[in-house]
A and B are shown apart, each in its own frame.
Chain A
Amino acid sequence: MVDYCAELEKDIRFQEGLKSCLNCGVCCAICPAAEFYNYDPRSIVTLVQQRNNEVIEQLLKSNTIWYCGQCMSCKTRCPRGNTAGMIIQALRTLSQQLGFFTESEKGRQQYALKKVVGENILNTGYCLCPTMVAPELHVEQGPMWEWVIANIDAVYERMGANYRKPGAGVLRKISDDALQELAQIFEVTGGKEFYKTIEDFSEKKAAEMNLDTTNGPMNDYLVHVYTTNSGTHSGNE
């Protein structure tokens, strides 16, 4: 069995995030994930503090570690300097490296995040682009956003942007040279390998679930992980 604790200790964020918890619960009061999910940052800190390998394996395979919204409010408030949000980052990284993330509904969503945000970074040099926020997938963006997308060139030009054009300015096209540098950075720092890890484990899971990953950018597995909500996450079910 892998020594999960030893693996976690290698992550700087784990070292920085875990001091010692006095179980005061202050972090839970401000945590937005604790507000609406069956989740609380105190349990995360006290669980990993036990350094029990089996408990950690359960966590790595659970929905629990995927609820946190990474706001880092817990860091501000903790009287002992713990940061549950950073411990979560280390747990999520390890869960993906070991393929455990595909064991939970919320963990499987990493496939969609890799496909959408992850690939966009390398393809465009931006985390997101206007056309990624497709109105049909984002009804909350409202008719104003439909208007932006329907008149995209004219609207961004009116805003003073340099949308998809070479040179400087808002939403400029990032040059091929800069994208090449970004790709090289991902190559030498393990970013590309990490993407591949997410993809490989996800494809394996998709096969198990009889869902296709090959039928286009909005493939069956992607749509499944992007939209599925079993409604079992608030603890009030």
Chain B
Amino acid sequence: MQKQPKSTQWSLYQKEIANDNYFYGRSCIRQNFFPASEKTFLKILREELGKTVLEDPNHTTCTGIGYHSDVVPFDTTQTVVARQFSLMTAMGLKNMALSCITSFGLYTEILDTWHHFPEQLAKIRELLYKATKREFELPENIAHASDVIYKFRNEIAQKAKYKLVNKETGEPLRVVEHIGCHYSKMFPQSGVGGAEFPQVLSGMVEAFGGEIVDYPERRHCCGFGFRNYLVQANRAYSISNTKKKFESMEPFKPDFIITNCPGCPMFLDRWQYAIAEMEGKTYDAQGKGIPVLTYEELAGMVLGYNPWDLGMQMHQIGVESLLDKIGVAYNPEDKYKDIHGNQLPVPECPASLRGKILDTKHK
């Protein structure tokens, strides 16, 4: 077999991503920690790209966190997911766009299981009907919401107000990506570019003018590890694995980190803060921490949306260093205002010396 040059290996894995008419599945974690990212995704799809994206308020958790914490049995999870399919079917839709990577991985796994074990699909149909009198059709297309932004990256780039370029030097920003494990590690063919060279985020970054920088632990888990974060006694696993990633990316001096999973950006953000507090260590030259963005924030930022509408005040590592590098216009005074423009109390500064310059409180 002829060896493919690394940069084109991803082209072996091309997945089909639906063009329009999506059923949107929300994510428990993203709603909690990056609520404005979901709002931004819908705004970009509907207002910038003119797509139809519908949601059903009766959509619930897929139970994914409970499933991977081993308290929810597989049959239960499959039936809950079948119920989401039934909500989609009732709306006459066939394409799913899922906000969560855990859900995306689970849906993909469940469809694969039903494909290999048709008797299991029959059993789940029966269980769902028994529990809810609902029936469902299988989706024709399952995309993660980052796939959808990837698909329309060039359209977004055309409308963009900003490029991922350092306004002082004119050089492309150096970006490291972290792909959620369940995006394509279980089923490489379900992700753009497969498991080893996923293209979903690097394609966006390049379309928006930035440069993707490789680093050795690029494919290492962010350190969530379900029970390994959820149970306090286990959190050393989580912070240690995340630290391993920071140490690996530090020499490459990234301007920011981009992620597609709802949980990873939270861990990459919070554990940087915790390490700064515990050890006085930060992984950037200025001691401010490396900003961590969701793909919705990235797309919204290049489109010129107000960073505080994008929810970037919900990061512990301030994003101002990045906004300033690009020259994004923002009003520091508005960071901690409510929807009516009233000033809210301002978060405390982190206690440590290093923490003080994490931009928590804008001065």
Contacts and interface: CB of A to CB of B under 8 A. Distances in A.
B232 A226 contact: yes
Given A146-B347, A177-B58, A188 B131 contact: yes
Interface in B318-363: 336-339, 344-350, 360
B153 to A, nearest CB: 23
Contacts of A200: none
A55 interface: no
Interface stretch (B11-19, B44-52, B201-209, B217-225): B217-225
B71 A127 contact: no
Contacts of B73: 93, 189-191, 194
Contacts of B117: 12
Contacts of B214: none
Contact of B75 (A37, A141, A154, A190): A190
B127 A70 contact: no
Contacts of B250: none
Interface stretch (B156-164, B165-173, B182-190): B182-190
B79 A189 contact: yes
B237 A121 contact: no
Contact of A37 (B26, B58, B72, B237): B237
B9 interface: no
Interface string B298-328: 0000000000110101111000000000000
B80 interface: yes
B23 interface: no
A97 B231 CA distance: 21
Nearest to B318: A144
A224 B273 CA distance: 27
A167 interface: yes
A207 interface: no
Interface string B45-69: 0000000000111111101111011
B231 A112 contact: yes
B234 interface: yes
B309 to A, nearest CB: 8
A140 B225 contact: no
Interface string A121-162: 100011111100100010111111111101100111111110
Contact of B221 (A12, A71, A121): A71
B233 A229 contact: yes
B253 interface: no
B120 A117 contact: no
Interface in B239-255: 239-241, 244
Interface string A165-179: 011111110110111
A181 B132 contact: yes
A186 to B, nearest CB: 6
B38 interface: yes
A182 B128 CA distance: 10
Contacts of B308: 158
A13 B79 CA distance: 16
B256 interface: no
Nearest to A187: B131
Most chain B beta carbons < 10 A, residue from A76, A140, A147: A140
Nearest to B130: A188
Contact of A117 (B38, B65, B74): B65
A37 B61 CA distance: 31
Interface stretch (B27-35, B135-143, B280-288): B27-35
B232 A133 contact: no
A69 B226 contact: yes
A33 B273 CA distance: 23
Most chain B beta carbons < 10 A, residue from A166, A170, A195: A170
A127 B70 contact: no
A30 interface: yes
Contacts of B346: 147
Contact of B316 (A144, A166, A229): A144
Most chain A beta carbons < 10 A, residue from B55, B63, B195: B63
B45 to A, nearest CB: 15
Interface of B: 26, 28-29, 31-32, 35-36, 38-39, 55-61, 63-66, 68-76, 79-80, 83, 105, 113, 116-117, 120, 127-128, 130-132, 134, 181-182, 184-186, 188, 195-196, 219-221, 223-228, 230-237, 239-241, 244, 270-271, 273-274, 308-309, 311, 313-316, 336-339, 344-350, 360
13 contacts: A13-B74, A69-B241, A71-B224, A71-B225, A93-B70, A110-B70, A117-B69, A117-B71, A127-B64, A143-B316, A171-B35, A185-B132, A229-B234
Interface of A: 11-13, 16, 30, 32-33, 35-37, 66-67, 69-73, 75-76, 83, 89, 92-93, 96, 106, 109-110, 112-114, 116-118, 121, 125-130, 133, 137, 139-148, 150-151, 154-161, 166-172, 174-175, 177-179, 181-182, 184-191, 194-195, 198, 225-229
Enumerate the 9 nearest inter-chain pairs by beta-carbon distance, A residue then B residue, closest first: A69-B225, A191-B76, A147-B347, A127-B65, A160-B39, A143-B348, A184-B131, A159-B35, A125-B60
Given A143-B348, A188-B130, A194-B72, 13 more contacts: A35-B241, A69-B227, A93-B70, A109-B227, A113-B69, A127-B66, A144-B313, A144-B316, A147-B336, A174-B58, A190-B73, A191-B72, A194-B73
